[in-house]
Amino acid sequence: MNLANLEQRMHKSKLAGFIIDCQTTDLDRAADFWGSALGMPVRALPPGEGEIYKQLDDLHHGLQIEVQAVNHPSRVHLDIESDDIEAEVQRLEKLGATRIQMIRTWWVMEAPTGQRFCVIRATSKDFDAKASEWS
């Protein structure tokens, strides 16, 4: 087997963080609650995403945490980040998860245990060092 080809089929993934989905029309108030509850500063995001997302700055765990205004019932969902979203989605399908919907650059999936979660593009600074590698 050609090692170069083998390497091409490897990909990485890790827990990116979680999104606090809030069924609300008052994103600021929702983000203020969760920022205060978790002791994390709330940061506005640029136009285009800032209307529905606010970031909570997690200084201690290196997680990406956001509060999102949604229309469905409130929940918390996990994000998995990967350097190859299609390969990661296929890996998760083999574990029993199902594809629900692609949104912009990420896939919404459903676990065999029922929770929705997302597979997103890797952006964590320490992604390469901390991610698991899959073949």
**Residue 14 near residue 81, CB atoms below 8 Å:** yes
98 belongs to the binding site for a second copy (CB under 8 A): no
Nearer to a second copy, 13 or 46 (CB): 13
Amino acid letter for position 90: Q
Give the single-character DSSP code of 78.
Answer: E
Nearer to a second copy, 38 or 103 (CB): 38
The upper half-sphere exposure of residue 43, i.e. CA atoms within 13 Å in the direction of its Cβ, equals: 12
Q: How far is the CB of 22 from a second copy (least distance, A)?
A: 4
**CA-to-CA distance for 99 and 27, rounded, in angstroms?**
28
**Residue 16 near residue 63, CB atoms below 8 Å:** yes
Nearer to a second copy, 2 or 25 (CB): 25
Candidates 87, 97, 118, 122: give the one binding a second copy (CB under 8 A).
97
Binding site for a second copy (CB under 8 A): 13-15, 18, 20, 22-24, 29-30, 33-34, 36-40, 58, 60-63, 73-78, 80, 92, 95-97, 111-115, 117, 126, 130-132
